[in-house]
Amino acid sequence: MKKWILIIVGVIVIGIIGIGIKINSDLDDLVEALNSEHSLNEPNLIILSDSISPNEKYKFYEYQFDKGGLGYSRNFWSVIKANETDLGKGLISEGYKIIDWNENNELILKEWNPTSELKTVSKLKNGTEINGIKINITE
């Protein structure tokens, strides 16, 4: 009888260890997804919209990240040179979103509060340059 109890306990322990290894592996994938780079090469990147400047030198992107079982991240906006992939270079400050281009190859931004918990918002001014592009703030 003791032999059967030891076998059952052994099987349970091996099962628990296997489940632990699987959970650890899944958590590594989740951490990687949550710490995604702002890059066009990121596999969890979902581009919602993009638009090239009138002079075709720059492009802006509206995007978010797929966080797996946790859903999607908030929306981000970035402006980069048309041939670049590093969205982090032209990331727009929290509290603003890109609306469109104007005829002078300037970005039109609008104040935007993605959540009611936004405490720190960088104050941008008309004429400020982000990654070489002038911005205009609209109401």
How many residues would you count in the chain? Answer: 139
| HSE of 79, CA atoms in CB hemisphere, 13 A | 26
Residue-level pLDDT at 127: 74
Output the CA–CA distances (angstroms, integers) from residue 65 to 26, 43, 75, in the order listed: 17, 9, 8
**Averages of pLDDT over each 10 residues, the chain, 139 residues:** 83 84 64 64 90 93 84 86 88 86 90 61 73 78
Euclidean distance between CA atoms 45 and 36, whole angstroms: 8
- Residue 49: predicted pLDDT: 94
* Burial of residue 66 (number of CB atoms within 10 Å: 0-12, 13-18, 19+): middle
Q: Are strands 76-81 and 58-65 parallel, antiparallel or unpaired?
A: antiparallel
pLDDT of the residue at 60 = 93
